[in-house]
């Protein structure tokens, strides 16, 4: 990493790295994620969709969302568990870059996320367009923790790429609402200082978890696909002193289980 990249990160609280990944690496994950949705679209709507036909696939996504919301949410969770996505998140290029930014001992803060933002796929606005917030409020990892945000498709202003407030990371925590899905900033922010970013598939945005950011507005009829990786630095003093807190809980949710499933014959069928 160049000294200027590090300096820019320190000054602005974010940096965009062009072509960090190859377009092919990103496309492979994007194809796989749509393929996973395509299975369930076919089951829920009865229509087999071609993932490479954008209109057909997106129509299938919107119908699936309407027809079987629970399965849609489950499928959204499954794509966050793609081995290929996790493999990318543990890539040495990432670890090295983070070390270059000063995270001496990078450690995964939370499992990778994948988002598919569209007003047609959201029951409330926050689920497709997040207001200004700081990720640190909900994560409370190391003080130098970072977010790596990257689109799976070319993401311009019209598709609602992220907007950041340069230098806001140095202000520490702004006052915000209690953490729910996120904690929204309650202070007035300088509207004209937000920077609208534009990234292509393969580019990444790295920002401090203190950097104020928000979603742009997706004014297209298309879905905005992105992923995020989050990292802490295990050697940051206050993280050590606070006993390595990890507030993300990961446990079975009884309401999401199928009571009485499976029957013994179904298990026997698997192991016959
Ligand atoms: O992608 C977005 O629009 C919001 C993402 C975000 O705010 C985050 O990852 O913290």
Domain limits for position 158 = 3-23+90-270
- Per-residue confidence (pLDDT) for residue 129, from 0 to 100: 87
| Per-residue model confidence (pLDDT) at position 1 | 76
Determine, yes or no, domain membership for 147. Answer: yes
Task: Give the model's pLDDT for residue 145.
Answer: 98
> In total, how many domains does the chain have?
1
Count of other CB atoms within 10 angstroms of residue 218: 21
**Which tokens belong to 99?**
């070390």
Atom of ligand 1 nearest to the CA of 214: 7
Q: Is 34 a member of any domain?
A: no
| CATH number of the structural domain spanning residue 207 | 2.60.120.620
User: Separation of 114 CA from ligand 1 center, angstroms?
Assistant: 10
For Cα atoms 175, 184, 196, give the angle at the middle one, nearest 5 degrees: 110
The residue assigned the tokens 């229509």 is 47
Q: How far is the CA of 20 from the centre of ligand 1 (A)?
A: 19
Does residue 215 have its Cβ closer than 6 Å to ligand 1? yes
- Whether 214 and 162 have beta carbons less than 8 Å apart is answered as yes
Q: Please report the pLDDT score of residue 2 as a whole number.
A: 82
Give me the average pLDDT of each 10-residue run along the chain (272 residues).
Answer: 90 98 98 98 98 98 97 97 98 97 97 95 86 92 98 97 98 85 84 97 98 96 98 98 93 91 96 96
Asked if residue 42 belongs to a domain, the reply is no
Contact predicate 164/194, CB 8 Å? yes
**Residue 126 covered by a domain:** yes
């Amino acid at each position: 990493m160049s000294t200027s990249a590090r300096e820019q990160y320190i000054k602005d609280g974010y940096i965009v790295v062009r072509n960090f990944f190859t377009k092919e690496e990103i496309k492979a994950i994007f194809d796989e994620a749509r393929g996973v949705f395509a299975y369930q679209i076919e089951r829920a709507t009865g229509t087999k969709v071609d993932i490479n036909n954008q209109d057909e696939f997106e129509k299938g996504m919107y119908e699936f969302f309407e027809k079987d919301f629970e399965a849609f949410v489950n499928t959204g969770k499954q794509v966050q568990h793609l081995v290929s996505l996790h493999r990318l998140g543990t890539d040495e290029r990432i670890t090295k870059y983070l070390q270059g930014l000063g995270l001496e001992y990078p450690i995964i803060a939370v499992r990778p996320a994948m988002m598919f933002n569209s007003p047609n796929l959201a029951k409330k606005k926050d689920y497709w367009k997040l207001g200004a917030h700081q990720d640190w409020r909900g994560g409370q990892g190391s003080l130098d923790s970072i977010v790596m945000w990257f689109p799976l498709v070319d993401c311009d202003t019209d598709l609602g790429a992220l907007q950041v407030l340069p230098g806001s990371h140095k202000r520490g925590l702004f006052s915000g609402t209690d953490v729910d899905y996120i904690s929204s900033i309650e202070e007035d922010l300088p509207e004209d200082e937000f920077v609208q970013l534009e990234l292509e598939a393969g580019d990444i945005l790295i920002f401090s978890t203190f950097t104020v950011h928000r979603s742009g507005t997706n004014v297209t009829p298309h879905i905005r696909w992105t992923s995020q990786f989050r990292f802490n630095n295990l050697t940051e003093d206050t993280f050590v002193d606070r006993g390595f807190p990890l507030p993300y809980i990961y446990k079975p949710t009884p309401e999401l289980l199928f009571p009485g499933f499976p029957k013994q014959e179904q298990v026997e069928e698997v192991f016959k």
